């Protein structure tokens, strides 16, 4: 058991949790956003992050502090919290990013962990090797072996109450990511960043990202807090949270602002392309794009960073509320319409419906059928599994129309779920709300439910009465079932 992390509520694989950070005596609610604070350039001060944006935790770079004559001594003498003016939890990175950018850094894992300990970091990071996407399996395995050794080193360093991360690498090889996650979890390290995914996000490769995250999660126990390292764009937070990512960090809020770019949950806009601010944050309520465009560089970048942070924290709150209400996948269905590549990400997420189902609560508030993709949600396959466990009499009517006493049992037939015995009619998810104009996927999923029930009950005689279901769905119903179409058949059955 990792005692510093507690999951309070699940929704699919998404979860609300509490990360206890003993060194600072702070408890961080997850999913949480860690704003990245550049120790040299602070667009928004850590104090403002805390008081105005509600940041409970931030991340800064110990390697930069270590290498800076201006910063090193004050950090060692006063400690990071005083230097930054931040009372929440402080996580520090180790220079791995610099390693990946410049090929070489001048500290070892032991040195940088000890330094992080000395400057008062609450969560420290060893020097892992951020293996980029698309390298060969052999290359990725070799680099993981090195990272793995450094986790052993990290375990051996005396870090007191400070939490230490165990980064998961493995490039775009899911099996290796899963193995790396398992090996990382076998250490006594505390927090699990999924590393080197920034290139996937920058290239909008959300399907590949989902494969990597899902694989990493399969290798981790449920009580492992997971950090999607470098994930700073709010357009993909909901998708990542639905997989069970607990921590996000954003350098984007400041980096994008410096490039006059404006974050939204539906993508990035350039300030010059905006005539109206599509947002209700304080900056966007009080200013017009024209006003902000007319400001000097500093004022402009500051207001954009404030907007970017507001929408980033706002999305974290929306995700938390959605998990709390049990409708995170409904939020995901909305978010993925921000970009076609996010649609691919969601379709890939639903490939792992079983993985989501494992922790999904049995009952939630409501199920909204919002697109053909909804037919692949874990609730649908769970219902099909449940059908296999039902007692079924000799002669059963499954109908979208009126019930009938002429059968031993008469059940409703409800897309996308399929057969619904009366006992389950008022039970989640069979209380789902669906459009009247359904897509074929809903009928096909319902027909698959019929198929499952019929195959599991070879002795039972089944009659299906439907209202004009499409052929692609009817093809799934076994031949031995008597099928009537209310829309075309003459009808006394």
Provide the binding-site residues for a copy of itself, judged by CB under 8 A: 52-53, 207, 266, 273-282, 284-285, 310-311, 313-314, 317-318, 320-322, 324-325, 330-331, 333-341, 343-344, 347-348, 368-373, 433-437, 439-440, 472
User: Between 181 and 310, whose beta carbon lies closer to a copy of itself?
Assistant: 310
Contact 127, 95 (CB under 8 A): yes
Dihedral over Cα of 76, 184, 320, 202: its sign? positive
Q: Please, is 395 exposed, middle or buried when counting C-beta atoms within 10 Å of its C-beta (0-12, 13-18, 19+)?
A: middle
What 3-state class would DSSP assign to 288? Answer: coil
| Smallest separation, CB 139 to a copy of itself (Å) | 25
| Smallest separation, CB 206 to a copy of itself (Å) | 10
| Smallest separation, CB 290 to a copy of itself (Å) | 13
| Smallest separation, CB 38 to a copy of itself (Å) | 23
Q: How far apart are CA 287 and CA 290, in angstroms?
A: 8
CA distances from 119 to 75, 102, 114 (A): 5, 25, 9
Task: Check 11, 70, 93, 385 and give the catalytic one.
Answer: 93
| Smallest separation, CB 112 to a copy of itself (Å) | 36
User: Between 366 and 482, whose beta carbon lies closer to a copy of itself?
Assistant: 366
Pairing of strands 461-466, 482-485: parallel
| Smallest separation, CB 338 to a copy of itself (Å) | 7
Residue 125 Cα to chain centre, angstroms: 22
| Smallest separation, CB 414 to a copy of itself (Å) | 13
User: Between 173 and 205, whose beta carbon lies closer to a copy of itself?
Assistant: 205
Pairing of strands 14-21, 26-30: antiparallel
- 93 included as an active-site residue: yes
Angle made by CA atoms 232, 66, 162, in degrees to the nearest 5: 70
Contact 305, 253 (CB under 8 A): yes
What 3-state class would DSSP assign to 147? Answer: helix
Closest CA to 53 of 310, 315, 321, 311: 310
The radius of gyration computed from the CA coordinates of the chain, to the nearest angstrom, equals 26
Angle made by CA atoms 256, 262, 268, in degrees to the nearest 5: 90
User: Between 63 and 277, whose beta carbon lies closer to a copy of itself?
Assistant: 277
| Smallest separation, CB 270 to a copy of itself (Å) | 11
| Smallest separation, CB 356 to a copy of itself (Å) | 18
Residue 244 Cα to chain centre, angstroms: 5
User: Between 188 and 273, whose beta carbon lies closer to a copy of itself?
Assistant: 273
Adjacent-strand bridge partners of 57: 89
User: Looking at the chain, how many residues does it have?
Assistant: 493
Dihedral over Cα of 127, 130, 135, 140: its sign? positive
Strand boundaries in 51-126, DSSP class E: 57-61, 89-93, 123-124
Q: How far apart are CA 284 and CA 454, in angstroms?
A: 57
Closest CA to 24 of 75, 72, 82, 63: 82
The token pair at 257 is 């602002």
Adjacent-strand bridge partners of 267: 264
Closest CA to 55 of 78, 85, 83: 85
By annotation, the residues acting in catalysis are 93
């Amino acid at each position: 058991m990792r005692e510093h992390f507690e999951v309070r509520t699940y929704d699919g694989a998404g979860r609300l949790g509490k990360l206890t950070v003993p060194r600072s005596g702070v408890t961080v609610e997850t999913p949480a956003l860690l704003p990245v604070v550049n120790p040299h350039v602070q667009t928004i001060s850590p104090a403002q992050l805390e008081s105005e944006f509600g940041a409970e935790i931030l991340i800064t770079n110990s390697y930069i502090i270590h290498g800076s004559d201006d910063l090193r001594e004050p950090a060692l003498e006063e400690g990071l919290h005083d230097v930054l003016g931040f009372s929440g939890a402080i996580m520090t990175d180790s220079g791995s990013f610099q390693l990946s950018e410049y090929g070489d850094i001048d500290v070892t894992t032991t040195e940088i962990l000890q330094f992080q300990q000395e400057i008062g970091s609450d969560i420290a990071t060893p020097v892992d090797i951020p293996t980029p996407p698309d390298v060969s399996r052999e290359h990725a395995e070799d680099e993981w072996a090195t990272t793995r050794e450094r986790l052993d080193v990290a375990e051996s360093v005396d870090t007191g109450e400070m939490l230490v991360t165990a980064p998961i690498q493995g490039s775009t090889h899911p099996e290796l990511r899963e193995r790396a996650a398992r090996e990382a979890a076998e250490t006594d390290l505390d927090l699990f960043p999924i590393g080197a995914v920034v290139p996937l996000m920058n290239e909008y490769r959300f399907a590949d990202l989902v494969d990597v995250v899902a694989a990493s999660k399969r290798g981790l126990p449920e009580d492992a807090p997971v950090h999607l390292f470098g994930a700073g764009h709010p357009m993909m937070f909901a998708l990542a949270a639905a997989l069970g990512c607990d921590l996000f960090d954003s350098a984007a809020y400041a980096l994008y602002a410096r490039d006059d770019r404006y974050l939204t949950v539906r993508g990035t806009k350039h300030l010059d392309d905006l005539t109206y601010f599509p947002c209700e944050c304080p900056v966007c309520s009080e200013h017009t794009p024209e006003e902000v465009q007319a400001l000097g560089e500093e004022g402009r970048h500051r207001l954009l960073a404030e907007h970017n942070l507001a929408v980033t924290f706002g999305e974290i709150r929306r995700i938390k509320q959605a998990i709390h209400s049990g409708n995170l996948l409904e939020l995901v269905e909305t978010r993925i319409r921000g970009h076609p590549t996010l649609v691919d990400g969601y379709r890939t997420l639903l490939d792992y419906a079983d993985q989501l189902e494992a922790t999904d609560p049995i009952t939630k508030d409501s199920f909204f059928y919002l697109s053909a993709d909804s037919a692949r949600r874990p609730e649908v396959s769970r219902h099909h599994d449940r059908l296999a466990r039902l007692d079924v009499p000799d002669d059963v009517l499954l109908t979208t129309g009126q019930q009938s006493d002429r059968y031993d049992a008469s059940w409703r037939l409800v897309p996308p779920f399929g057969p619904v015995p009366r006992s389950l009619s008022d039970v989640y998810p069979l209380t789902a709300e669906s459009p009247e104009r359904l897509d074929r996927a809903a009928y096909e999923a319902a027909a698959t439910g019929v198929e499952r029930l019929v195959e599991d009950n070879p002795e039972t005689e089944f009659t299906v009465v439907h209202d004009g279901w499409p052929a692609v769905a009817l093809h799934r119903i076994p031949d031995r079932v008597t099928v009537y179409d209310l829309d075309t058949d003459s009808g006394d059955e």
